Amino acid sequence: MRTTFLFIISLYILTPFSAAYANTLIAKIDGMVCAFCAVGLEEQIKKDPATSTVKISMDDSTVTVISKPEKTVLPKTIEKAVYYMGFTLKDLKETK
């Protein structure tokens, strides 16, 4: 019983230090009409060293950006890339 209790307590203490955190940004983009546009936007966003994954959906004109563990992709990264590519940012949400 004592061993189980100590094991549970040690897990509770170590969990915050071992958990990997990544943030996700989802943006709605206006003006992205072709695959070439999407590739250009993806390349701009991937310039941020905190970026792990960029998923672009041409069907609903959204961009999903996932950060690397323990890093944060800032909304400004998306805003700058969208502006640079000549698109309009319609909506931007962050999830954790």
| pTM exceeds 0.85, yes or no | no
**What type of residue is 47?**
K
Give, to the nearest 10 degrees, the angle between helix 35-46 and helix 75-85.
Answer: 140
User: Which residue ranges make up each domain of the chain?
Assistant: 21-95
CATH tag for 21-95 (out of 3.40.1190.20, 3.40.47.10, 3.40.50.970, 3.30.70.100):
3.30.70.100
Compute the distance between CA of residue 44 and CA of residue 57 in angstroms, rounded to an integer. 16
- Which two tokens mark 22? 């990544």
Longest dimension (CA), the chain: 64
Q: Three-state DSSP class for 11? A: helix
CB atoms within 10 A of CB 23: 17
pLDDT in tens, 31-83: 998 999 999 999 999 999 999 999 999 999 999 999 999 999 999 999 999 99
What pLDDT sits at residue 21?
76
Give the pLDDT band of residue 10 (cuts 50, 70, 90): low
Q: Assess whether pLDDT exceeds 90 at residue 87.
A: yes
